[in-house]
Amino acid sequence: MILIDDSGSGSLIGGTIIGAMRAETNEFYYNIIPLKYYSPELFQKKIYLDQATQIAVELFNRLKVSKDEEILVCRGYMFDKVRRWLKDNSYKFTNTKIDEPLQTKIEIAFENYAVSLGFPRRFISYTKYPFHFHRILRWVYADYDNRVHLCKTGWKSWQKYGALSIRFSYDKINKSKYICLKCNKKIENNSFVTILKFTSNRPQKIYLHRDC
């Protein structure tokens, strides 16, 4: 049985991973829809759906999928054109919610990919929803010029929240419980900090080392 799913399509940063697995052997392969397909120019054309199909074909070739195998396809929009390709090529498939054994493997693949982009591993390790839009937005604004290119800028939500007014202030933190979202290191007690304030879905406050 072949399972096919995606991960990262709902994350503000990074492209989207398309992964496929043969359940009986745990053979697992994936590839990434490049972030450029989420630019304002290309996102509206939905070329990422063509990319998902191209990757699916590549993964099927690597797995040597036969026309007799049962195929379970994630029922999400990302596979709209994949389903068309499967039907046109006489594969047997079912649209369904994909669970184990693929779910964990593909989620870990995206997590590792996000970390390779610079996203803090601690966000993933200690947060129930590490890829929540406004949580990532805080991380992006902490080093905006260097992180904006990691974002899916074609999203409507980015059009709404991607160029917010930022207010800067400076202070000394006597007792610190904060992590600098720019360098990802602890802000020690009695540290001088830069404070960034903006309003997205709610008022946001970000603490950075003064020298960051």
pLDDT in tens, 131-158: 789 999 999 999 999 999 999 999 999 9
- What values do phi and psi take at 183, rounded to 5? -100, -10
The whole-number pLDDT of residue 124 equals: 82
The whole-number pLDDT of residue 131 equals: 78
The CA-CA-CA angle for residues 141, 144, 145, to 5°, reads 175
pLDDT band at 190 (very low <50, low <70, confident <90, very high): very high
pTM to 2 decimal places: 0.90
Is pLDDT above 90 for 126?
no
Is pLDDT above 80 for 129?
no
Every domain of the chain and the residues it spans: 2-116, 132-209
Mean pLDDT value across residues 16-35: 96
Q: Quick one: how many helices (H) and strands (E) in the chain?
A: 8, 8
The encoded tokens of residue 137 equal 């937005």
**CA 48, CA 119: separation in Å to the nearest integer?**
23
Share of the chain above pLDDT 70, in %: 97
Report domain 2-116's class.
alpha beta
Is pLDDT above 80 for 128?
no
Contacts of 48 (CB under 8 A, 6+ apart): 16, 33, 37, 38, 42, 78
Is pLDDT above 60 for 17?
yes
